[in-house]
Amino acid sequence: MTSLLQPPTFALASRDDNHLRLTSADGATLDVFVLEDDIVRVRVLPDGEAHGPRTWAIAPGLDDVPYEGRDRLDTHGFSMPSFVLLTNDEGIVVETQQIRLSIAYAGGRCAWQMHDGDAWRTVLQDRATQAYNFGWWDERVYHYVRREPGEMYVGLGERAGSIDRAQQSYRMTNVDAMGYSARTTDPLYKHIPFYLTWQREARLGFGLFYDTLADCTFDMGRELDNYHGPYRHFIADHGDLDYYFIASLRTPLAAVRRFTWLTGRPALMPKWGLGYSGSTMSYTDAPDAQRQMNEFIARCREHDILCDSFHLSSGYTSIGAKRYVFNWNRDKFPDIEGFVRDYLDHGVKLCANIKPCLLRDHPEFDAAAREGLLIRSGDGQPAWVQFWDEVGAYVDFTNPAATAWWKQHVKDALLRYGIAATWNDNNEYEIWSPQAKAHGFGHSFAAREAKVLQTLLMMRASRDAQREHAPHTRPFLVSRSGGVGMHRYVQTWSGDNATSWETLRYNLKMGLGLALSGVSNIGHDIGGFAGPAPDPELFLRWIQFGVWMPRFSIHSWNDDGTVNEPWMFPEHTPQVSALLKLRYRLLPYLYQLLWDSTLHYEPVLRPTFADFPGDPHCYAESDDMMVGASLLAAPVVEPGRTTREVRLPAGAHWTCFWSGVTFAGGQTITLPAPFEHPVMLIREGSVIALNVAEQHFDARAERRAFRIVPMQSGARVERRYIEDDGETEAWRNGEFGTWTVAVEGDARDLRISVTKSGLMPDASTALELHLPASEKRQLHLSGAQITADTHAGGWRTIDIEIV
């Protein structure tokens, strides 16, 4: 048996431009693709044959991939740089400007180095013993690598627990984990097999992306085996070992940006998708659903709650106690057209819940089964799965006919009434039977081998329906489940969380894990979805936290039948209204962060060490986060707190958003934390765009302000903010305007320039500039003239008119 564990011996067999192939006498192959100076791909095929399907993940800088997937040998979109290839008796060396990959002929063992400006430093090595599975154990795919002291691992999408994944193990298979623990539950809703290894002292790191649709496992050092030394591993249930190494010099964000670019351009959603979205299952489950939905609008007006959309839960599809996608319950909604029109007349879009499983007594089940639109078992019958309170079968989106059927139903049942968006829910595709078969674009395969693909194709079909219905409007979609590439289609959230302080604390970390895995347009069910209703303190702290998230939705299904609503605690409703108005005040800044995500692949949220990798204190477990590069957010995640300690990253000064007081970085400060003032600080050298117009439910307005915190050194900083119509696709043709704010100075003088260019949707030339009241340098303004100058609340407000 010992001979069976001897790895094959490889030799360099061919070079086709940037594709190298090593082969062995017993048929194993190892492919190397030099795609960018900072991205190299490796594929190991133990029998020389590719077993995995095409890829739906790889879309370098592109909006999408072909519906039937991208050929894994397609290099379109990559720069394919020149590189050095060296050979010797031991193996080969491939060298780009950033990466040096050494591959030993004995076993194909890989060792990776990165150039940090001074020397080549080893950052990753395959385990010396059985790094791959060359048919020794089973049909699964294995990759074992050495684990080095001091490494931290971040990413893997939405995982429970700490940001650093070291010493933990994770199962990546999408499940409906209602009421999960944000600290311990695993697996969860999403399948993102990418993580970043970071060496703190060297400030070097790399991303590893395993391009697989298979259920898989990551062990980040939880497992020990004396025969092999320290290691971590990846195991996929089927397919091929096909991974991308992405260099990350100086900052972990480098690999995050490149992974996001590698897997496609994030969708630019309409601006209203950043607004408050009402949601609860209770309204649509009620027999008088339309009346209760209309009451929501009346209560928003009564309490002056700003709102842009409402998530229409699946109760609108009910027949009896069960839910039937695309069915309208006319008893609950006797006037669909009038209901939708009333919401639109009040400026509130509707986002309708849709589910990809047809229950066996669905009115259209038999017809869909006859037409082959459902996933089937080996005998050609529907592949039965458990779904809510009944069994049913999933729509098979690998069948073009099923995709066409879905799109037509989205348009006929929803969009034609004026429904603006789709909420793609319960789409984990929990298929466990090996007999279940997918159409596979004409080449049938086991459905459980590509569950996450069905989820991605569902999003795509819903998006395409919306595009076909309104081709000049940006689609807005939401999806609970997903995988790599979902950021090209949807906004998402962390699923059906449990109501607790622990959830609030760990949902923050869960969101950072998603953002560091290429998915930035994210949020959480504010207040908690499952369990008891939150008490007033927890509810208000949740809303404070939600102010900073790209997605802001209060959603619940409380055990006691209560509903999480802005007015659920009357004595605190004015504070909720004020916090929502703060959210809308921050929208210009948040909207630019989404633009930066789309155009430059920047994560919207990030842990402080990502922006300050040289500060060792930023690596300590904390409850702080950066919102963009300019705003440090410090939510209160424990009961009974009236103040908040904040560790300020070293290397910058920080100014309190509320008081205007400036603090040196590298220290811990304590700030007041009242309900109406979430704790946040502005990094020096920042320009924060705000909307300072008075906002009410029935009266929206825009008046731009720029809150400026100059560099204390006087060094020049420049920030651009895009202004567009917020809703159409005209931005793709360059139809948007840009504000450019430039600031520089010296010990005596501060010079600020404000200019606008392009096609501004608003012709207004009146702006505000905010400077800390402590800023005493002589102000010199170009491009505008001062019309008023006042001081209040620690800030100097300068009204200007662009000239």
632-642: pLDDT as tens digits: 999 999 999 99
Residue type, 458: M
Q: Is residue 87 part of a domain?
A: yes
Q: Which pair of tokens denotes residue 21?
A: 């192939």
Residue 85 belongs to a domain: yes
Q: Is the pLDDT of residue 40 over 70?
A: yes
Q: Which long-range contacts (CB under 8 A, 24 or more apart) does 119-124 make?
A: 121/202, 121/204, 123/197, 123/199, 123/204, 123/205, 123/206, 124/197, 124/206, 124/208, 124/245
What is the pLDDT at residue 378? 85
Residue 2, pLDDT > 50, answer no
Q: Could you give the CA distance from residue 287 to residue 101 in angstroms, rounded to a whole number?
A: 64
| pLDDT tens digits along 220-255 | 999 999 999 999 999 999 999 999 999 999 999 999
Mean pLDDT score of the chain: 96
Would you say residue 468 lies in a domain?
no
Report how far residue 476's alpha carbon sits from residue 119's, in angstroms, rounded to the nearest whole number.
Answer: 47
Give residue 4's pLDDT: 65
Q: Yes or no: say if 223 and 135 are a contact pair by the CB < 8 Å rule.
A: no
For residue 510, how far is the Cα from the chain centroid?
10
Q: Where does a domain end: 262, 286, 314?
A: 262
The closest of 237, 244, 197 to 221, measured between CA atoms, is: 197
Within a domain: 149: yes
Q: What is the pLDDT of residue 731?
A: 97
pLDDT for 285 beyond 60? yes
Q: Comparing 415 with 559, which gets the higher pLDDT?
A: 415
- For residue 103, the domain's CATH number is 2.60.40.1760
**Which tokens in the block code for residue 142?**
């294995």
Q: What is the distance between the alpha carbons of residues 236 and 154, in angstroms, rounded to a whole number?
A: 19
Is 562 inside a domain boundary?
Answer: no
Phi, psi (deg, nearest 5) at residue 723: -120, 125
Query: Is residue 663 one of the residues assigned to a domain?
Result: no
CB-count burial class (<10 Å; 0-12, 13-18, 19+) for 685:
buried
Cβ atoms 266, 487 nearer than 8 A: yes
> What average pLDDT does this structure show over 574-597?
98
Q: Which of 204, 50, 228, 221 is nearest to 127 (CA)?
A: 228
Domain count, the chain: 2
- 647-668 per-position pLDDT tens digit: 999 999 999 999 999 999 999 9
Cis peptide before 603 (omega within 30 of 0): no
Q: In which region does residue 202 sit, left (phi positive, over 0), alpha (psi from -120 to 50) or beta (all else)?
A: alpha
pLDDT at 1: 30
From 545, 543, 551, select the one nearest 580 (Cα to Cα).
Answer: 543
Which domain-ending residue is among 204, 239, 262? 262
Which of 243, 262, 281 is the C-terminal boundary of a domain? 262
User: Percent of the chain beyond pLDDT 90?
Assistant: 96
- Taking residues 529-547, report their average pLDDT: 97
Which range of residues forms the domain containing residue 206? 2-155+189-262
DSSP symbol at 544: H
Tens digit of each residue's pLDDT (9 = 90 or more) over 715-732: 999 999 999 999 999 999
- Does residue 427 lie within any of the structural domains? no
pLDDT at 349 over 90: yes
* Secondary structure (DSSP) of 20-40: EEEEETTS-EEEEEEEETTEE
* Token pair listed for 270: 């309409």
pLDDT above 70: residue 436: yes
Q: What is the CATH number of the domain that holds 754?
A: 2.60.40.1180
Q: Which tokens go with 693?
A: 């117009």
Tens of pLDDT, residue by residue over 500-537, are: 999 999 999 999 999 999 999 999 999 999 999 999 99
The percent of residues in the chain predicted with pLDDT above 70, rounded, is 100
Whether 721 and 686 have beta carbons less than 8 Å apart is answered as no
Q: Which of 767, 770, 765, 766 is nearest to 797 (CA)?
A: 770
Checking if the pLDDT of 763 tops 80, the result is no
- Helix, strand, coil: what percent of the chain each, to 5? 20, 35, 45
Report the pLDDT value the prediction gives residue 52, as an integer from 0 to 100. 86
pTM: 0.97
What mean pLDDT comes out for the span 330-337? 97
Domain presence at residue 717? yes
Report the pLDDT averaged over residues 688-697.
97
Confidence category of residue 168, pLDDT binned at 50, 70, 90: very high
Euclidean distance between CA atoms 190 and 202, whole angstroms: 32
Tokens (6 digits) for 770: 């905010």
